[in-house]
Amino acid sequence: MNIRNQLAANDGRRRLKNQIMCAFLFLAAIVAIAPLVSVFVYVVQRGYQAMSWDFFTQLPAAVGSSGGGMANAITGTMVLVALASLIGVPVGICGGLYLSEFGANSKIASTLRFGVDILASVPSIIVGLFAYAVVVMPMKRPSALAGGFALAILMIPTVARTSEALLKLVPVHIREAGLALGIPRWKVIIFIVLRGSMGAIITGIMLGIARAAGETAPLLLTAAGSQHWSHGLDQPIASLPVQIYTFAISPYDEWQKQAWAGAFVLVLFVFVLNIGTRLIIKRPTIAKD
Amino acid sequence: MGAQELEQSSLLIPEVKSRKKRRDVHAGDRRFFWTLRAVALLILAVLIAIAVQLFLVSLPAIRHFGVGFVFSTDWNPVRNRFGAAAFVYGTVVSSVLAIAIAFPISLGVALFLNELAPRRLASAVGFLVEMLAAIPSVVYGLWGLFVVAPWLRTVFEPMMIRYFGFIPLFQGPPYGVGMFTAGVVLAIMITPTISAISREIFRAVPLSHREAALALGATRWETIRLGVLNSSRLGILGAVILGLGRALGETMAVTMVIGNRKDIALSLFAPAQTMASLLANEYAEASDDLHLSALATVGFLLFLVSFLINSLARFLVWRVESRQKEGAPR
């Protein structure tokens, strides 16, 4: 009888503990997405308030006067991302191809895989220091080129790892079919594997661009910032993240409003890229066996 | 060597082993292979170049200050005296704070999504958590500065000071911007990292472990504890260390909300400075050679620490995943 009571009490305790812990797990999920909701609501709300057509067409307004925009920063970010893609995309894709096609069991490939992971986790400000020493110092001034160089380094690991992972999804028998026809391996890789998984490659590029577009720290050191139009690739250039930073920490109300508008555009851009990649990956054209 | 590896790595034609056929049938293949490999190795070269270059620039400061560099709190560019202790302290404390906040939450989310939630809900919530990782750091900084910091200053910090003020960590005026705010924002930023990797670790635990626990009459939570958590401790450790690595190097958001003060304050609510935020603040303006070199030393330390931490984490996660791959996947 006594044992029975004890068991019953024990059972109650276990059930209670179960309920408490399950509730905690549920709560954790809510707590985790609360900041996302908050960030999104604030960025959309405050950004939208400060948004106007001028934002996309005008240069930043001087202190004290209202209005103005970030036209130079938006184009600046486009230029920087384009420069970064020029270096980062080919190198990243070559890395991804090498790892997926020749990286099955070689020491060099596994070292490389490790290196790519480490490069992805190097703090972006450190990449900024590197680009500062390699490009800014010899040129004696911050420039769009230096900024593009830094962003390229940050982009490479993302492009390489994504394209590796997705290229590996191409079934082996497709490669075998090509080889069985006597097609050289390089042609099989380029014209069958690579072309067949264009979606994969584009996904990698989009994620790389999303990462590069939002980076701020390395640009502070390499591209600096500017309130004007850029006069050349060897000149300092404005960028959206740096402009947001400069305006956010300024004491002026008007500038802070502009910072929210900038954040709105940046978040929208990054989200569209990220959601776009998901749609591409989910598309059934990429075989999954 | 090259040709041999080319063949070994070809998962496709295992039969091509006889000496005669070892010669490449197509000359283009060899060139293609070496081009790819050369470009791929360029990535490794960049990593090595970063390390070497940072070390070379920091050499003068290391020679000048020696080991004392990391123990001195005296950072004075005007007098050419540099000690990084305050920044090391800021980096360590803000990161640990971030882990302390993010760990239970991200583990909770991961378990909820993998073990409890219905599939539809899990994929929706999982998507939202992943989107947290996509938000640029500068946007977190903006949000932290204008939303989180005011709230902490007016609501949370006064409350903590009132009820826990006897602990030195919670004394002093509520600044809003400071170590604690940085910790909170960092915690939000590393939650997706930790939860994504934990989810992968949990997914690698064989279903039979859970079934065994359930068959013994375990409750849901007991199933999770016995069948899932028990066998994935190492992997979780790896995930946390990976999150730590992200927190250590995070620059912009921290720079915007930590208040940028160059000494050590005991209170968590006081402004501070991290290694990364110091670099963001000073590097572009530094002109003196020793100043630049001292900053590069801080950068080199940061690089070294993040390298070690990430290697350790990769090793842990990779070991767990490769070990559990043998079990039945879910």
Answer whether residue B329 is part of any domain.
no
Residues of A in contact with B279 (CB under 8 A): 125, 128-129, 217
pLDDT of A172 reads 86
Each residue's pLDDT tens digit, A39-61:
999 999 998 888 888 788 888 87
Inter-chain CB proximity B42 and A245 less than 8 Å: no
Residues B280 and B196 in one domain: yes
Q: Where are the domains of chain A?
A: 2-50, 57-282
Side chain identity at residue B283, one-letter code: Y
More confident residue, B245 or A198: B245
Q: How far is B79 from chain A (nearest CA, A)?
A: 23
**Third-level CATH fold of A57-282:** MetI-like fold (1.10.3720)
pLDDT of A50 reads 81
* Pair of tokens at residue A125: 């400000």
Q: Residue B16: which pLDDT band, with cuts at 50, 70 and 90?
A: very low
pLDDT of B74 reads 84
pLDDT of B14 reads 47
Q: How far is CA B108 from CA A100, B197, B203, B316, in A?
A: 34, 13, 15, 21
Contact B75, B84 (CB under 8 A): yes
Contact B99, B313 (CB under 8 A): no
Residues of B in contact with A156 (CB under 8 A): 43, 46
Residues B130 and B219 in one domain: yes
Inter-chain CB proximity A117 and B129 less than 8 Å: no
Q: How far is A125 from chain B (nearest CA, A)?
A: 7
Query: Does B123 touch chain A if contact means CB atoms closer than 8 Å?
Result: no
Residues B76 and B194 in one domain: yes
Residues B12 and B161 in one domain: no
Q: Average pLDDT for residues A131-156, to the nearest whole number?
A: 91
Percentage of residues of chain B with pLDDT beyond 70 = 90
Four-CA torsion B239, B244, B246, B247, nearest 10 degrees: 140
* Pair of tokens at residue B265: 């304050």
Q: Which of A175-179, B22-26, B256-260 has the lowest mean pLDDT?
A: B22-26
More confident residue, B262 or A245: A245
Query: Does B139 touch chain A if contact means CB atoms closer than 8 Å?
Result: yes
Mutate to test the interface with B, among A122, A161, A168, A272 (most CBs of B within 10 A): A122
Report the alpha-carbon angle B33-B37-B40, nearest 5.
140
Q: Average pLDDT for residues A200-215, to the nearest whole number?
A: 88
Side chain identity at residue B133, one-letter code: A
* Rounded-to-integer distance, Cα A89 and Cα A95, Å: 10
A 1-30 near B (Cβ less than 8 A)? 14-15, 17-18, 21-22, 24-29
Q: Return the SS3 of B51.
A: helix
pLDDT of B330 reads 40
Answer whether residue B241 is part of any domain.
yes
Of the three residues B66, B86, B104, the one that is the final residue of a domain is B66
The closest of A133, A165, A162 to A149, measured between CA atoms, is A133
Inter-chain CB proximity B47 and A122 less than 8 Å: yes
Q: Residue A219: which pLDDT band, with cuts at 50, 70 and 90?
A: very high
pLDDT value at B23 more than 80: no
Inter-chain CB proximity B39 and A98 less than 8 Å: yes
Residues B24 and B153 in one domain: no
Q: What is the DSSP string of B226-267?
A: IIIIGGGHHHHHHHHHHHHHHHHH--HHHHHHSB---S--SS
Inter-chain CB proximity A119 and B43 less than 8 Å: yes
Residues B35 and B177 in one domain: no
B17 torsion bin: left (phi>0), alpha (psi -120 to 50), beta (else): alpha
Q: Tokens 């500038």 — which residue?
A: A255
Each residue's pLDDT tens digit, B36-80:
889 989 999 999 999 999 999 999 888 888 888 888 888 888 888
Q: How far is A57 from chain B (nearest CA, A)?
A: 22
Please tell me which residue of chain A has the smallest CA distance to B307.
A118
Q: How far is B161 from chain A (nearest CA, A)?
A: 23
B 175-234 near A (Cβ less than 8 A)? 188, 191, 195, 219-222, 224
Q: Residue B15: which pLDDT band, with cuts at 50, 70 and 90?
A: very low
Q: Residue A169: which pLDDT band, with cuts at 50, 70 and 90?
A: confident
Q: How far is A43 from chain B (nearest CA, A)?
A: 8
Percentage of residues of chain B with pLDDT beyond 90 = 41
Each residue's pLDDT tens digit, A56-91:
888 887 776 677 778 888 999 999 999 999 999 999
* Rounded-to-integer distance, Cα B166 and Cα B110, Å: 36
Residues of A in contact with B295 (CB under 8 A): 129
Residues B49 and B100 in one domain: no
pLDDT value at A228 more than 70: yes
Residues B93 and B60 in one domain: no
* Pair of tokens at residue A279: 């749609």
Please tell me which residue of chain B has the smallest CA distance to A240.
B138
pLDDT of B110 reads 93
* Rounded-to-integer distance, Cα A218 and Cα A221, Å: 6
Each residue's pLDDT tens digit, B172-222:
788 888 899 999 999 999 999 999 999 988 988 888 989 999 999 888 899
Residues B173 and B193 in one domain: yes
pLDDT of B264 reads 85
Residues B282 and B313 in one domain: yes
Side chain identity at residue B159, one-letter code: M
Residues B55 and B182 in one domain: no
Residues B288 and B244 in one domain: yes
Residues of B in contact with A137 (CB under 8 A): none
Query: Does A251 touch chain B if contact means CB atoms closer than 8 Å?
Result: no
Mutate to test the interface with A, among B252, B258, B314 (most CBs of A within 10 A): B252
Burial class for A4, CB neighbours closer than 10 Å (0-12, 13-18, 19+): exposed
Residue B200's domain comprises: 71-324
pLDDT value at B6 more than 80: no
* Rounded-to-integer distance, Cα A93 and Cα A205, Å: 9
Mean pLDDT of the residues in chain B: 85
pLDDT of B25 reads 64
Number of neighbouring beta carbons within 10 Å of residue A26: 15
Contact B191, B129 (CB under 8 A): yes
Residues of A in contact with B311 (CB under 8 A): 114, 118
B274 torsion bin: left (phi>0), alpha (psi -120 to 50), beta (else): beta
Q: How far is A61 from chain B (nearest CA, A)?
A: 20
Contact B247, B92 (CB under 8 A): no
Q: How far is B281 from chain A (nearest CA, A)?
A: 9
pLDDT of A283 reads 59
Sign of CA dihedral B268, B260, A66, A80: negative
Answer whether residue B330 is part of any domain.
no
The closest of A260, A268, A153, A127 to A210, measured between CA atoms, is A268
